Amino acid sequence: MTRIIQGALLALLAATASAQETEALKVYISADMEGIAGVVTSEQLGPGGFEYERFRGFMTAEVNACIEAARDAGATEILVSDSHGNGQNLLIEKLPDDVMVVRSWPREHGMMAGIDESFDAVIFIGYHSSTENKRGVRAHTMSSANVTGLRINGTSMSEGSMNAAIAGQFGVPVVMVSGDDVAVAENQVIIGDMEGAVVKWAQGFHSARTLTPAAAREVIRERTLAALARLEDFKPYVLEGPLQLDLSLKHYQPVELLGYLPNVERLNSHTVRYVAEDMSEISRFLTFVTNYNIGLQP
């Protein structure tokens, strides 16, 4: 009888261990391009650049390195957000068949489209520093051509910190960011504890000392594994409402026109203020401001 009981207990322990090992781990990856190894100018960043097609491949490879490491760490479901430029950069045929991809714009929650409470971790690949940062490679927030300042409750925000706050609204922490040394440090200061994969060191807005693509992928793999190995250490970055967004634009007329909206206050010639209850409202407002054009078709 004792052997029967012992056998049953061992079987129960084995089943419990197996269930723990297969527990769902959902990872969200938001991928930008300015922070990819080797990227320094517009020649790598858009369809008109002579190096763009090659660097689409490097961007895809960095995302794949992150996916592979996440799988090794136990990830059972992964959603990848193509979050640069036109949102159509990743070579999706080179991604694993069992991941889902978010592409193009506009979309709810922008660079974090598809995020919800079911995810366990967020990872940023290829991110850059904010528009008010003097040092980072291609430093900007949302639009390098049009946005000159973006603050929430007085804090200058990067795309990383805004996206972390969107994830935080759903209780999901950011656990790792890759990019240049300035971007990694800036996001760690604003968002808090997270792993950082530095793949290049900023020398100026259009220059960097960079790892090779292969070396960058190894760093991303290492930091992804390190992040997911200590998942319980991370806390969501939560901004409690109401949230006061101060948005400064390069040109005078868009600010003047935004001032006609009843829920927008024009602070000066180039800055408007919008007050929202949460980051979802902030995201919707910014999506409208940065995408609307009365001549849009269809």
The per-residue pLDDT for range 108-134, each reduced to its tens digit, is 999 999 999 999 999 999 999 999 999
Cβ neighbours around 106 below 10 Å, total: 13
Q: Is the peptide bond before 213 cis (omega within 30 degrees of 0)?
A: no
Q: What's the predicted TM-score (pTM) here?
A: 0.92
- Give the angle 224-228-27 at the CA atoms, nearest 5°: 85
Q: What is the pLDDT of residue 23?
A: 83
The per-residue pLDDT for range 68-88, each reduced to its tens digit, is 999 999 999 999 999 999 999
Number of helices and strands (H, E) in the chain?
A: 7, 12
The per-residue pLDDT for range 138-184, each reduced to its tens digit, is 999 999 999 999 999 999 999 999 999 999 999 999 999 999 999 99
Q: What is the dihedral of CA 247, 250, 251, 257, to 10 degrees?
A: -10
Q: At residue 99, what is the residue type?
A: V
